[in-house]
Amino acid sequence: MAASAPAVLPETGTRQASAAMIWSALAVVYVVWGSTYLAIRVVVEAHIPPMLGMAARFLVAAVLLAAFLALKSGPGRLRVSGRELLGSAVVGLLLLAFGNGAVAIAEQTVPSGLAALLVAAVPLWLMLLRVGGGERPRPLTWLGVLIGFAGAALLSLSGGDTSAKPLSVAILVLGTISWAVGSRYSPRLGLPKDPLVATVYEMVIGGTAMVLIGVLRGEPGRLHVGAIDTSGWIALAYLVAFGSLLAYTAYSYLLANAPISLIGTYAYVNPVVAVFLGWLILSEHVTAKILLGGAVVVLGVALVVTAERRRTPVAPAVTAPRD
């Protein structure tokens, strides 16, 4: 992943992208991925083994997306070079098999609030990777990241749930690091120019790796289809349609077209969405601490967005070359 000499990675991709497209994709990632904490929790509590459940999520989504692209533009649209396939494999393994897979495994014992806190550390890992690559982020960006993380911590700790096992927490931390590495270096891996095609191969390879990991963990022996209740199937279908097809495609688009620090702000907003949905759907109690944490998160996001827009303006178009 790293070059032989220190290099500054571009913050943007090759394709021109309007500000409206970028912010629309970011809004999808903000809202939909905030809801997937709840959906994943429902899936693993519905007697669906975590790695096999997430593998089904991404493999089904990949088949549906590939079929749509082939019907719309012909099978030739799915052709990729060996280098593009390799790049897609690396991203699929880092983001999906190791990143998303870690979240699913951890949420068997880690409360959703604590999971949101740990995933909110992704921008911090991204910042460290940027510094290691020779970049010097603006002080305002640093401040925004730290404030956003503090807000996410306040949100996540408001429940007081301490049921998480240390091993699960460690797995989740490793998953966030894997996700950050994959997000940071994806622009230089030679991915397919079409983000939808890239998404297909990332989900196929990541999902296949999840199946293999699930087999190694002995998950097939714990899978009893008849024991899965309706809520589990609904949650899995939601993850396929919205968490994978919609939100992951939007995330792939953002990786190719938007500043990585701007993309990383989703990790601050997702906990806010998760808390809101818990209150709306599960009638969870919203305390003053939760409201304060949400306000701090929004402040952190605002600072990061302000700093990065000054550094590399998003509007009217993103045209910086890809490494």
DSSP one-letter string for 271-322: HHHHHHHHHHHH-PPPPHHHHHHHHHHHHHHHHHHHHHHHHS--SS---PPP
The backbone torsions φ and ψ at residue 26, rounded to the nearest 5 degrees and listed phi first, read -65, -40
pLDDT at residue number 15: 46
pLDDT at residue number 215: 95
pLDDT at residue number 277: 79
Residue from 145, 126, 146 nearest 135 by CA: 126
Query: What are 20-53's pLDDT values in tens digits?
Result: 888 999 999 999 988 988 899 889 888 899 999 9
Residue from 24, 27, 11 nearest 310 by CA: 11
Burial of 316 (C-beta count, 10 Å sphere; 0-12/13-18/19+): exposed
**The whole model's pTM is what?**
0.77
Size of the chain, expressed as the number of residues it contains: 323
pLDDT at residue number 294: 77
Q: Report residues of the chain scoring pLDDT below 50.
A: 1-15, 161-162, 313-323
